[in-house]
Amino acid sequence: MVSTLESAHPPGGAAAADVAASSPPSARPLVGRAGELARITHTLDEVLTGPGRLVLLMGEPGIGKTRLCDEVTALAMRRGVPVLWGRSWEAGGAPAYWPWLDVLQGLAKRLEATALAAALGDSAALIVELVPEIRERLPPFPAAAPPPPDEARFRLWRTVFALVKQVAEPNGLLLIFDDLHSADRPSLLLLYALARQLRSARVLVVATCRDVEAQLVPENGEIIARLGREGTHLGLGRLDRSASTDLLRGRHGALAP
């Protein structure tokens, strides 16, 4: 079935050994991003009482996108909202769906076995193909011929949304996808399919992307542009002089003996 979903685990290890499913809050203070943090905080508050949303953080390398996501993670955790991270592999050679592998495993861990089986339904084999560790938490299911690629793709999208929605039901859910510009096309299409269904789930998706690099692969850049149209496009500019001074001062203080 690997060929159906264009995915395989890299040789010699677990599916996402170098990618953390969740990211610990940073000890460094957030500088110069109070406005952006306030906007995302407001969006999170709306998600917890209404339809899901997507925020696409765009900006140049090192501008502070991931650091802002660290702060959003800490805020969500303080509110009891589960948080899962998926990170793209920038060095190349990663299998399809790489940013999703730890996310899917993290989602599965948050459900009891019976709820997990119900969420996956008759498409459990498609998820197990991506994350084999999930199989041990499911009742046996018969082997079946893989569906045609297009059918498999749409069934996977539907099943992932069911899993996300089930996990989000009690306390909401924050999903963060970092470095989207390096994601493979199947991962981007899955994220886009999820974004189009967020209105019926208590889920906030925050994705980071380098604006210039997003255009290096035109077909992927088009999907990222469509993602931005499905949600809120939030561009991060360079810090002003005062904020830059505060940032340098904070780093110098942290490094001082």
Q: What is the mean pLDDT of residues 91-99?
A: 89
Identify the weakest region by mean pLDDT among 40-44, 55-59, 143-147: 143-147
Q: What is the mean pLDDT of residues 225-230?
A: 92
SS3 assignment for 244-257: HHHHHHHHHHHHCC
Identify the weakest region by mean pLDDT among 67-81, 153-167, 230-244: 230-244
Question: In the chain, what percentage of residues exceed pLDDT 70?
Answer: 79
- Give the pLDDT confidence score for residue 238 in this predicted structure: 59
* Number of structural domains in the chain: 1
Q: What is the pLDDT of residues 202-220, one digit of tens each?
A: 999 999 999 877 777 888 9
| 257 occurs within a structural domain | no
| 48 occurs within a structural domain | yes
- Give the pLDDT confidence score for residue 13 in this predicted structure: 33
d(CA 25, CA 68): 10
Phi/psi class of residue 64: alpha, beta or left (left: φ > 0; alpha: ψ in -120 to 50)? left
d(CA 20, CA 204): 19
Write phi, then psi, for 235 (nearest 5 degrees): -85, 135
| 37 occurs within a structural domain | no
Q: What is the mean pLDDT of residues 35-53?
A: 92
User: 205, 175 in Cβ contact below 8 A?
Assistant: yes
d(CA 255, CA 257): 6
State which residues form the domain around 109.
Answer: 2-26+43-251
Q: What is the mean pLDDT of residues 47-71?
A: 91
- Give the pLDDT confidence score for residue 189 in this predicted structure: 97
In the predicted structure, residue 197 carries a pLDDT above the cut 90: yes
| 16 occurs within a structural domain | yes
- The CATH number given to whatever domain includes residue 73 is 3.40.50.300
Residue with tokens 């749409």: 154
| 18 occurs within a structural domain | yes
Summary mean pLDDT of the chain? 82
| 202 occurs within a structural domain | yes
In the predicted structure, residue 24 carries a pLDDT above the cut 60: no
| 35 occurs within a structural domain | no
d(CA 211, CA 122): 39
String of DSSP letters for 201-237: S-EEEEEEEETTGGGSSHHHHHHHHHHHHHSEEEE--
- Give the pLDDT confidence score for residue 12 in this predicted structure: 34
Question: What is the band of 239 on the pLDDT scale with cuts at 50, 70, 90?
Answer: low
| 159 occurs within a structural domain | yes
